[in-house]
Chains A and B, each alone.
Chain A
Amino acid sequence: MLWYTGRRILQMIPVFFGATFLIYFMVFSLPGDPIAALYGDRPPAPGVIEQVRAQYNLDKPFIVQYLLYIGGLFQGDFGTTYSGRPVSDVMAQAFPITLRLATLALFFEAVFGIIVGLVAGLRKGKWFDASALVVSLLLISVPTFVIGFVLQFVFGIQLGWARTTVSSAAPYSELVLPAIVLASVSFAYIVRLTRASVADNLNADFVRTATAKGLSRRRVVSVHVLRNSLVPVVTFLGVDLGALMVGAIVTEGIFNINGVGGTVYRAVILGEGPTVVSFVAIMVIIFVVANLLVDLLYALLDPRIRYAK
């Protein structure tokens, strides 16, 4: 187990370099001169752009730019944005907020998704199951920004229960509404995933055996059915943590949250290589760690899955 974990962590190194190199190359290949575009219809005096380009190493070949960036990285320097801010400052500001938002969303979708899915699976074909299916279908088919604007209008503007947008401190209490919006689609998937899995396992041999042994219904459901049903759900949640952090662009825009999604989006539009790559590098690490946790959780959930050596 320890060996397995160590090997997985070592795998992060090539993944990290491969991902940053690819992303840096993609941002570098974006059409247009980002510095010229910064000034819009109002270009500065000739010569000013060249000086600013040189300042950000944009006048050098791609590979030199990348190596300079990586070199800086090893000295703890993530580069600067085109507005002159250290990228590390931008990350220290954006990641905690998005992490809070994503955690809250993950919490909502996991807890409510599994409960609703479990109940629906246990009462397959009954009214609760039917309405859960209809609601989840609705959530999947309605775009996130529609849900966002509707909830913002109803709870923020009409009822005044929540702030229309999130303040700069972004405490958990203000993030509840955006987290619900962000969680909505994944919630629907988790309901369906859990329901199908539970319904499947209810007919499995080990459940019949457990019931025949005279175990209580409660124990059969919680230990045998639910535990086995959670394997696909946990897989989904692991991947979803990463998706939530990037996919928050729409939600963050609606609620004016200054998080990772919006920052990466703006940085891509501006062609800010160091910002995009630094953010993506952290996301890669989060993804890899989340997947590792998922794999380790498998062993706990299903004793048949063990990692050799």
Chain B
Amino acid sequence: MKIKKLGLVAVALAAASALALSGCATDSGSGDGSTTGSTGSSTAIITTNGSEPQNPLLPANTTETGGGKITTSIFAGLVSYTADGAIENEVAKSIESDDATNWTVTLNDGWKFTNGEPVDAASFVDAWKYAALFSNAQSASYFFDNIVGFSYDADTELTGLKIVDDKTFTVELAAPEADWPLRLGYTAYMPIPKAGLADMEAFGQNPIGNGPYKLASDKAWVHEEKIDLITNPDYKGVRTPANGGLTIIFYPTLEAAYADAQGGNLDVLDGVPDSAFQTFETDFPERNANQAAAIFQAFNIPEYIAHFSGEEGQLRRHAISMSINRDEITDVIFQGTRTPATDYTSPVINGWTDKLKGADVLAYNPEEAKKVWAEADKISPFEGEFTIAYNSDGGHQAWVEAVTNSIANTLGITAAGKPYPTFAAMLDDRKNQTLTGGVRAGWQGDYPSMYNFLAPLYQTGAGSNYEGYTSPEFDGLLKEGSNAKTIEDATAKYQAAQEVLLSDLATVPLWYSNVVGVWSDQVDNVVFGWDSVPLYSQITKK
């Protein structure tokens, strides 16, 4: 019967209007301004941009960035990430294993949730069991698929998790994984208090965490508008806030957020609209960042497209890749806010390299491209048009046109973008394998590990491997890498696996997205993390 409320609101409007019109413009969003000294205020509220979380704020059901930046602020997991993607212990005292399969996690003393409950072994084990259970339908449930007892299609218990005592639990993995602790700063692995597990619906609207921040009140999340976070006095970890809290304002477009930053209504903005690529450095002198982020962008050419299978297909893929002038496109279209790709990961990931065997296909080489294309034509002449599909609601048109122009001009064929109105429409053709050409693809790392950039996208049958790429050689190397006992061995295998990808070129790497951010002259110490999110706890207000 909410409709009655609507009617009441409408009736009340007439009265309210007179009051509001005569009242003065109140400036509600600009912090408390309690101090003006140069040392910075430890109570000031930092305002920053965000977007409405797609789901209730359950840690394992938050896989998009809008909700992600909130959950990482209000929860503390076993570890957290430094700016360059290394892990630091938070609730964990130690995470140890002799064989990379059986792990023992010991927790620090004295941690508690904001409702007073202690953070103990059960807080993690119960939360992970909840997240992994099939019928709970958590979007990040697959993050637990390497723990013994996991099932993709039935309710089973994670028998690999065992509570030893209040401060200790053990994890048995289905297969060894040397860099398993690297995952544990991801939101899916956050602890949940008993009160939360008892009523997940209420918890999702008003989560009880143990992180550096907490919700300012039970009405702090104003849907589609903002969320107010304040510091959590009980927080014991490495991210102790140097400010009094965060107000994350949800913007549907970066344009509006950028205007607010220019107008002094927003302290920190972790993106810049295309229209400001050229001006953000002069609009925010000395107060901007432009650095590579954990975002990989590419386009896929499915095997099932005519002329793109077998030896002919491989030649054509190489020719197409070499006919793209990545340096020029990142410079002209993106004004230097993208970094041309040299592998399948990202420069912020440990193990990234520009020395892979076969990486020369990523360099612009029109002569070689023409030669290779002609060789393919000898096998079977190419007719028709080469297209790259993209969803036109995502701002991809400019670069798709630039890339297809580059291909057309170099190879002397017709090439064009193929727009789909929405991502959903494009996804249908990808899943049904009814594309008629290439298709744009992208990946943002969940946690700073090479494995996370390779397995979900190119492994046979993997969740995001929509175009159905399959290579036994790649699968084998990936498995060897994840089973390696040391991270060094793993890295070598993952790099070898990428050389297979470069040779097959089912996915043509384009560039890494940069995180481009600006901030007002009211704040200091703005540093962007490996995941493109500012390290909010370090930001100080003047």
- Residues of A at the B interface (CB closer than 8 Å) are 30-34, 36-48, 51-52, 55, 76, 78, 82-86, 88-93, 95-96, 99-100, 103, 149, 152-153, 156-157, 160, 162-165, 167-169, 171-174, 253-256, 258, 262-263, 266, 269, 271, 282
Which of A32, A92, A153, A164 is close to B2, meaning CB atoms less than 8 Å apart? Answer: A92
Q: Which of B47-55, B103-111, B120-128, B230-238 participates in binding chain A?
A: B47-55
- Please, which residues of chain B bring their CB within 8 A of the CB of A99? 10, 13
Q: Are A164 and B5 in contact (CB under 8 A)?
A: no
Q: Which residues 141-163 of B have a CB within 8 angstroms of A?
A: 141-142, 145, 152-153
Give 1 or 0 for each of B415-449: 1 = CB within 8 Å of chain A CB: 00000011111111001000000000111001000
Q: Are A163 and B431 in contact (CB under 8 A)?
A: no
Complex Cα distance, B2 from A88, in Å, reads: 6
Complex Cα distance, B29 from A100, in Å, reads: 21
Q: List 18 A-B contacts (CB under 8 A).
A: A32-B425, A34-B424, A37-B422, A39-B139, A47-B152, A48-B139, A76-B1, A83-B52, A83-B55, A88-B3, A92-B6, A100-B17, A163-B27, A164-B259, A167-B28, A173-B20, A173-B24, A256-B249
B256 within 8 A of A: yes
Contacts A168-B222, A173-B20, A271-B424: A83 and B56 contacting too (C-beta < 8 A)? yes
Q: Are B256 and A165 in contact (CB under 8 A)?
A: yes
Complex Cα distance, B300 from A154, in Å, reads: 44
Q: Are A38 and B10 in contact (CB under 8 A)?
A: no
Q: Which residues 1-17 of B have a CB within 8 angstroms of A?
A: 1-3, 5-6, 9-10, 13, 17
Q: Which of B260-268, B302-310, B319-327 participates in binding chain A?
A: B260-268
| Min CB–CB distance A25 → chain B (angstroms) | 17
Complex Cα distance, B259 from A109, in Å, reads: 26
Complex Cα distance, B66 from A40, in Å, reads: 13
Q: Are B137 and A164 in contact (CB under 8 A)?
A: no
Q: Are A31 and B424 in contact (CB under 8 A)?
A: yes
- Please, which residues of chain B bring their CB within 8 A of the CB of A171? 20, 23, 25-26
B386 within 8 A of A: no
B396 within 8 A of A: no
Complex Cα distance, B194 from A178, in Å, reads: 47
Which of B5, B257, B464 is close to A92, meaning CB atoms less than 8 Å apart? Answer: B5
- Please, which residues of chain B bring their CB within 8 A of the CB of A174? 25
| Min CB–CB distance B462 → chain A (angstroms) | 10
Q: Are A52 and B424 in contact (CB under 8 A)?
A: no
| Min CB–CB distance A77 → chain B (angstroms) | 9
| Min CB–CB distance A260 → chain B (angstroms) | 12
Q: Are A41 and B442 in contact (CB under 8 A)?
A: yes
Q: Are A42 and B464 in contact (CB under 8 A)?
A: yes
Which of A36, A95, A152 is close to B431, meaning CB atoms less than 8 Å apart? Answer: A36
| Min CB–CB distance A164 → chain B (angstroms) | 3
- Please, which residues of chain A bring their CB within 8 A of the CB of B24? 173
Q: Are A164 and B224 in contact (CB under 8 A)?
A: no
Q: Are A42 and B224 in contact (CB under 8 A)?
A: no
Complex Cα distance, B142 from A78, in Å, reads: 33
* A259 nearest in chain B by CB position: B224
Q: Are A84 and B28 in contact (CB under 8 A)?
A: no
With most chain B CB atoms within 10 A of its CB, the pick from A41, A173, A266 is A41
Q: Are B424 and A86 in contact (CB under 8 A)?
A: no
Contacts A32-B426, A33-B427, A43-B463: A164 and B260 contacting too (C-beta < 8 A)? yes
Q: Are B256 and A45 in contact (CB under 8 A)?
A: no
Which of B2, B25, B142, B204 is close to A44, meaning CB atoms less than 8 Å apart? Answer: B142
Which of B63, B255, B427 is close to A254, meaning CB atoms less than 8 Å apart? Answer: B255
Q: Are A32 and B427 in contact (CB under 8 A)?
A: yes
Q: Which bracket fits the contact residues of B?
A: 35 or more
Complex Cα distance, B140 from A143, in Å, reads: 43
- Residues of B at the A interface (CB closer than 8 Å) are 1-3, 5-6, 9-10, 13, 17, 20-21, 23-29, 52-56, 63-64, 134-135, 137-142, 145, 152-153, 204, 222-226, 249, 251-253, 255-257, 259-260, 262-265, 393, 421-428, 431, 441-443, 446, 456, 463-464
Complex Cα distance, B56 from A86, in Å, reads: 12
Complex Cα distance, B63 from A45, in Å, reads: 12
Which of B2, B55, B63, B137 is close to A86, meaning CB atoms less than 8 Å apart? Answer: B2
- Please, which residues of chain B bring their CB within 8 A of the CB of A83? 52-56
Complex Cα distance, B153 from A46, in Å, reads: 8
Complex Cα distance, B373 from A33, in Å, reads: 37
Complex Cα distance, B52 from A97, in Å, reads: 18
Q: Are A96 and B1 in contact (CB under 8 A)?
A: no
| Min CB–CB distance B22 → chain A (angstroms) | 9
Which of B28, B142, B222, B253 is close to A45, meaning CB atoms less than 8 Å apart? Answer: B142
| Min CB–CB distance A7 → chain B (angstroms) | 23
Contacts A44-B139, A165-B265: A95 and B1 contacting too (C-beta < 8 A)? no
* B457 nearest in chain A by CB position: A41
Contacts A83-B53, A171-B20: A253 and B252 contacting too (C-beta < 8 A)? yes
| Min CB–CB distance A48 → chain B (angstroms) | 5
- Please, which residues of chain A bring their CB within 8 A of the CB of B53? 83
Complex Cα distance, B138 from A96, in Å, reads: 34
Q: Are B25 and A169 in contact (CB under 8 A)?
A: no
- Please, which residues of chain B bring their CB within 8 A of the CB of A262? 252
Contacts A39-B63, A83-B54: A163 and B263 contacting too (C-beta < 8 A)? yes
- Please, which residues of chain A bring their CB within 8 A of the CB of B152? 45-47
Q: Are B464 and A160 in contact (CB under 8 A)?
A: no
* A85 nearest in chain B by CB position: B223
With most chain A CB atoms within 10 A of its CB, the pick from B21, B426, B456 is B21
